[in-house]
Structure 1
Amino acid sequence: MTGEAPPISRRGLSRRLTVQALYQWLVNETQPETLLKQFRDQEEGLGRADPVYFEELLKGTVADAVALTMSLVPHLDRPLNQLDPVEHAILLLGAYEMASKPEVPWKVVVNESVNLAKMFGAEDGYKFVNGVLDKLARSSRSAEMGG
């Protein structure tokens, strides 16, 4: 055994690209259509990522950003304007999947978000992301969680 990470799913790759695109949207206010074109036109394109899921995640998260942000704010331990843009992008994506993708189990949403935070975020950012999304799941997916 080489200790390599397991291969990332097509949806996992879509989430990774979506976080990168959302980061650009948050920092530079780049429009989703521009981001979709930019990501498709890169040398490696979308690679093995699911292009339909990527587009759905990006457009859906941006379109619902205000409502998603409002669902996250009660669970934050700091003011919204103090959120790291990477963590903000990951939390928005997690909140979107939690709200709009009931077929994706809440544990998968949290786990994928934590992995993205480990990859792109600050050293302990994944702990923050985990805590916020766990609280969001308790309020938005309590039936699924058995509570």
Structure 2
Amino acid sequence: MARRKSRILAFQALYAWDSGTKDEKTLLDFSWASEAQLERIGEDGKTFARLIIGGTLEAIDRIDAVISRHLVNWEIGRLNKVDLAVLRMSVYSLLFQKDIHPSIVINEAVDISREYGSDDAFRFVNGVLASVKSTLETENRKL
């Protein structure tokens, strides 16, 4: 549950970044988050959220390219900012956090999308991430 709360914090930060309301330094110091939210996740949770936020922003071009390759009849620029923030942090995790099982990443993304996205957003997020996961598994088998 603590990691879920950290992922929600990371999602909120990436959404704010994409909306242009916060810069990276402000996002990573969490001055924008409520005291209650920060107390609930603790120091370990803040560290995990910072890893996702910083890692996602550092690899944003690669992450966006991966997302774009897995969109069917859609363009990344037309995506809802909520969906895009969830996809970005999840693709970061699928690409770089090999210690976290892909099904956990996808399940968390679907749950966050259900809570914060539009009615059917979770289906869209699930489909894109399942496609990314499948491609990554195929690429790993070739290695």
Instruction: Identify whether the pair has TM-score above 0.5, normalized to the shorter chain.
Output: yes
Q: Normalised by the size of structure 1, how large is the TM-score?
A: 0.86
SS in 2 for 1:46: helix
Q: 2:93 aligns with which of 82, 97, 110?
A: 97
Match of 1:70 among 35, 60, 65: 65
Q: Structure 1 vs Structure 2: percent identity of aligned residues?
A: 26
Helix, strand or coil: the match of 1:12? Answer: helix
Instruction: Pick the aligned partner of 1:111 from 95, 107, 110.
Output: 107
Other-structure match for 1:4: none
Aligned-residue CA RMSD in angstroms? 1.9
Pick the structure with more helix per residue.
2
Larger mean Cα displacement after TM superposition, 49-58 or 37-46: 37-46
Aligned residues of 1:68 and 1:92 also touching (Cα < 8 A): yes
Q: Which runs of 5+ in 2 are unaligned?
A: none
2:121 counterpart residue number: 125
Are residues 48 and 143 of structure 1, via their aligned partners in 2, closer, same or farther at CA, if it must alter by over 3 Å? Answer: farther
Partner amino acid, structure 1, of 2:9: L
SS in 1 for 2:13: helix
Alignment of 1:50-65 (within 5 A): 50-65=45-60
5+ residue gaps, structure 1, are 1-8
Secondary structure of 1:141's partner?
Answer: helix
Contact persistence 1:106–1:141 (CA under 8 A): no
Q: 1:98 to 1:39 in 2, by over 3 A?
A: farther
**TM-score scaled by length of structure 2:** 0.88
